[in-house]
Amino acid sequence: MRVERVILVRPRGFCAGVERALAILEVLLERVPEPIYVFHEIVHNSVLIEGFKRRGVQFVNDLKEVPEGAVCVFSAHGVSPEIERMAKARNLRVFDATCPLVTKVHEEARLFAIRGLRVVLIGHKGHEEVEGTMGHAPMFLVSTAKDVQALPISPDERVAYLTQTTLSLGDTAKVVEALKARFPNLMGPKKEDICYATYNRQMAVQALARVTDVVFVVGSKNSSNSQRLGEVARAEGVPAYVVDGAEHIEPWMFERAKAIGVTAGASAPETLVSGIVKHFEDLGAERIEELGVAEESMTFRLPKMPA
């Protein structure tokens, strides 16, 4: 069956937090002569990371790998106060690329703890953002509604919840409902922690899935928000594949598809989307269309950078 249409959904790709993090690294590459170290991947996209490695950036998962006094960038996912203390002790020149929306969650965690509430974080164990957030206050981690039942907290205690910024809206709602059922006086953030870009992209891919036969999400395996986009599309009953680029698309993935949907996670560059579009044009796709679902205008300031 021949592909007739490729439908690109908007919004897709870079969010304001990713753009800020990448801009910080680009400025440092232009202005700093010495080696640049990044604690964890600056954003979760393998193509971008390999590109920065070729330009001399060194990514580390342990600050002990960073020479004392060196330039070190904290990734967009944020870090714990312990990492900040270690960086200071090693006299590192730190540039913090933490997304401001992640920083907001850190601040909420500290405020809830100061008020004496038991804090529950909804998120994925092992994710860098979760590890960083959990260092800002004592808290419990849950990933599913089932996890809520195992919390060692009495129902009459004062409890507040926070969430990782890149979760599935539907799955998170189920966990919040389970928390409310167990803790009647549950408190939450004044504004949802799941970021605007995650929300917009999930709503967009949901609309895309309803008008296509298969959805391709441009994103890496370790990108939480990209994986969630695939889940949202599948929940609409449409096959969805998260791929780093056109070279990972196999014919069996779209063999019965007339309409191909394409989106991109918040850390995936538009050049990879263009590569997928060209891939299907080369296979004879007759029309390239765009489906607009929401507009975005948010931007974040850079921290003070070297001249």
Point out the residues that are catalytic. 129
Task: State both tokens at 300.
Answer: 């974040």
Residue for token pair 């937090």: 17
H/E element, 87 = helix 81-89
Crossing angle between the packed helical segments 169-182 and 224-235, to the nearest 10 degrees: 90
Amino acid at residue number 299: T
Please give the Cα distance from 146 to 174 (Å, whole number): 10
CB 267 within 8 A of CB 224: no
Tokens of 31: 């202005």
Looking from the CA of 208 toward its CB, the CA atoms found within 13 Å total 36
Three-state SS at 25: helix
Distance of alpha carbon 241 from alpha carbon 57, whole angstroms:
30
Nearest-angstrom CA–CA distance, 284 and 231:
28
**Distance, CA of 280 to chain centre:** 27
| Three-state DSSP class for residue 294 | coil
Asked if residue 246 lies in contact with residue 189, where contact means CB atoms within 8 angstroms, the answer is: no
Q: What are the DSSP E strand ranges found in 133-253?
A: 139-142, 159-163, 214-218, 240-243
